[in-house]
Amino acid sequence: MNSRAAEASSESVDRPSKSPAEIARIYDEEASLVERLGPIDRFLTGRYRRLTFSRASGRVLDVACGTGANFPYLPADVELTGVDLSEEMLAAASRRAAKLDLDADLRVMDASDLDFPDDSFDAVISSLSTCTFPDPGAVLREMARVCEPDGRILLLEHGRSSAGPVARFQDWRAEAHFERMGCRWNQEPTAVVREAGLAVRRVRRGALGILTAMEVDPAGEGEPSG
Any domain includes 53: yes
- How confident is the model over 12-39, as a mean pLDDT? 91
Domain interval for residue 37: 3-217
pLDDT, residue 221, reads 57
Query: Alpha-carbon distance 226 to 204, whole Å?
Result: 6
pTM of the full structure: 0.91
Task: Select the more confidently predicted residue: 50 or 9.
Answer: 50
Task: Select the more confidently predicted residue: 37 or 224.
Answer: 37
Which pLDDT tens digit goes with each residue over 46-85?
A: 999 999 999 999 999 999 999 999 999 999 999 999 999 9
The CATH number covering residue 65 comes to: 3.40.50.150
Any domain includes 225: no
**Residue 9: which pLDDT band, with cuts at 50, 70 and 90?**
very low
Any domain includes 224: no
Task: Select the more confidently predicted residue: 218 or 225.
Answer: 218
Query: Alpha-carbon distance 125 to 139, whole Å?
Result: 12
Which pLDDT tens digit goes with each residue over 181-215?
A: 999 999 999 999 999 999 999 999 999 999 999 99
Nearest one of 96, 95, 98, 124 to 111, comparing CA atoms = 124
**Residue 220: which pLDDT band, with cuts at 50, 70 and 90?**
confident
pLDDT, residue 15, reads 85
pLDDT over 60 (residue 12): no
pLDDT over 90 (residue 225): no
pLDDT over 60 (residue 10): no
**Domains: count for the chain:** 1
DSSP string, the chain: --HHHHHHHT---------HHHHHHHHHHHHHHHHHTHHHHHHHHHHHHHHHHTT--SEEEEET-TTTTTGGGS-TT-EEEEEES-HHHHHHHHHHHHHTT---EEEE--GGG--S-TT-EEEEEEES-TTT-SSHHHHHHHHHHHEEEEEEEEEEEE---SSHHHHHHHHHHHHHHHHHH---TT--HHHHHHHTT-EEEEEEEETTTTEEEEEEETTS------
Any domain includes 16: yes
